[in-house]
Amino acid sequence: MAEWWRSAVLYQIYVRSFADSDGDGVGDLEGVRSRLPYLRDLGVDGIWLTPFYPSPGADHGYDVANYVDVDPQFGTLADFDALVADAHELELRVVVDIVPNHTSNEHPWFQAAISAPDHPDRARYIFRSGRDGGPPNDWTSAFGGSAWTLDEGSGDWYLHLFAPEQPDLDWHNAAVRGDFDEILRFWLDRGVDGFRIDVGQALYKAPDLHDVHEPEPRTPYADWHTGINQPELHELYRSWRSLADAYPDERMFVGEIVLGDQVELATYVRPDELQLAFNFTFLFQDWSATGLRGTIERTLAAFAAVGATPTWVLENHDVTRLPTRYGGGEQGLRRARAAALLLLALPGTAFLYEGQELGLEEVDLPDAVRQDPIFYRTKGERVGRDGCRVPIPWESGPPGFGFTTGRPWLPIPAEWKELSVAAQTRDPASTLELYRSALALRPRDEPFAWRETAPGTLAFTRGDLLCLVNISDRELPFEGELLLASDPAAGDVLPPDAAAWVRIAGRSER
């Protein structure tokens, strides 16, 4: 299909937590390969693999020590090649994560950079002298504390927007750019269908590194940070786009661009820049009809204005699981199931996160097993992201649930026995079967139009499919042939906190 990425559903695999083939309790590429038929049967179009590159693991792989290899705990390059070959055989695209904002502090470039103040590799990073005995400016790390760490050998400080083990690269340095062109080519040559660009709004820093006076509390978006989101990025992404366009089969970029202003966000997906950018406003929107409608309208308008494809995402490895964010328990799950039908009826590209299709809740882990640097750097003030990264349950029960024959790297809750893939498969009331049906029925190219509807509800059509979402506390009557509902009790009324797909009478057969 031309421009496959315009209406695809991509399934995010957090490699550590998906499937473990060798019993060490950590997921790996061979595990992913063994579960590809599940993803084909689920009905997604491709996978996005989170980083599997050699890494000391300070941020579970987002601290890369070698961009062109596989960490032994995840497998080998041969395993990667076999995974890509099998995925393509099953008509699944493979997108890999590229981490260009920072390296690991154990990357040979950084090791060289701190080995001697005049080492040429030092210019690949951002070292500055301090101010008044402290760091060079007021920037903070997204993981808590200052964004600067003292390099004791030289007395200078280096910048890290994340953990100190993740020193930021200086993208104004031509060598850094050249290296990443080679890294992209390495994976394109191995057949990847695209890249997810980590922290895509931050690679270039304002050259004067001015103070930014961070708002309190810190928002999930980076719009306020005048030291990042620099104009040079657009030129970089144009060059990456033309590099990838030289390959056959439509290789794709999706940027993790964490901006709340959709018009600004859309500047990254102009025709010669990235094909896609995550739209986090939908994810961070509460369960409110006016809020969701507003976000959807702003997104559609901003992306249409540049001819780009909108994207929709509700979960990933950095945020609390959806049923928990929507209130938890039975209510949270009802809403999350309804949101699934909303997500998959919207025009554009959708992203699912492993376990979302099982309706998993955030896990309240004991502090002793937590691993996220956010937890440690904020001294527990922020619990961090481990609760959405617990390995997913495939079958049977504790401790491994078919994820591993050993001990999972984070404990899997005993209650997940009822939520395993095996337990939900062929149960028509299960969340897994809801996703499977929705993925099979989902509209792809049909035009989108809003419909008049009662307050507290959303209604829009995609061709002859009407999507209804009831966020009010009253039943919503409807007419037409019910194709799919998030609540099995839906008949000719839709209960609160539920969604339905209805075929509108008098139109052509789907």
Residues that bind ligand GLC (CB under 6 A): 59, 62, 99, 162, 198-199, 256, 317-318
Task: Provide long-range contacts, Cβ within 8 A and 24+ apart, for 29-34.
Answer: 29/70, 29/74, 29/75, 29/79, 29/80, 29/83, 30/75, 30/79, 30/82, 30/83, 32/83, 33/79, 33/82, 33/83, 33/86
Element (H, E) at 500: strand 498-503
Going 490 to 495 to 499 to 500, the CA torsion angle's sign is positive
**End-to-end C-alpha distance for the chain, whole angstroms:** 19
- Nearest-approach distance from CB 504 to ligand GLC, in angstroms: 39
Q: Which is nearer to ligand GLC, 12 or 430 (CB)?
A: 12
Transcribe 38-64 into DSSP letters.
HHHHHT-SEEEEPP-SS---TTTTSS-
From the candidates 97, 168, 256, 372, give the one annotated as an active-site residue.
256
Q: How many CB atoms lie within 10 A of CB 177?
A: 16
Q: Which is nearer to ligand GLC, 317 or 436 (CB)?
A: 317
Residues 16, 390: Cα–Cα separation, whole Å: 9
Tell the residue number behind the tokens 């003292």, with chain if given: 150
Q: Which is nearer to ligand GLC, 99 or 114 (CB)?
A: 99
Tell me which residue has its CB nearest to ligand GLC.
62
Hey, which bits of 296-348 come out as E strands?
Answer: 311-313
Q: Which is nearer to ligand GLC, 34 or 66 (CB)?
A: 66
Catalytic, 415? Answer no
Catalytic, 151? Answer no
Q: Token pair of 32, please?
A: 């992913």
By C-alpha distance, which of 493, 500, 495 is closest to 472?
495
- Nearest-approach distance from CB 162 to ligand GLC, in angstroms: 4
From the candidates 198, 315, 318, 362, give the one annotated as an active-site residue.
198
Residues 183, 318: Cα–Cα separation, whole Å: 25
- Nearest-approach distance from CB 60 to ligand GLC, in angstroms: 8
Q: At what angle do helices 431-441 and 329-343 cross, to 10 degrees?
A: 10
- Nearest-approach distance from CB 164 to ligand GLC, in angstroms: 13
Q: Which is nearer to ligand GLC, 201 or 404 (CB)?
A: 201
Q: Which is nearer to ligand GLC, 71 or 198 (CB)?
A: 198
Given a contact cutoff of 8 angstroms between Cβ atoms, the answer to whether 54 and 65 are in contact is: yes
- Nearest-approach distance from CB 143 to ligand GLC, in angstroms: 8
- Nearest-approach distance from CB 317 to ligand GLC, in angstroms: 6
List, by residue number, the catalytic residues.
198, 256
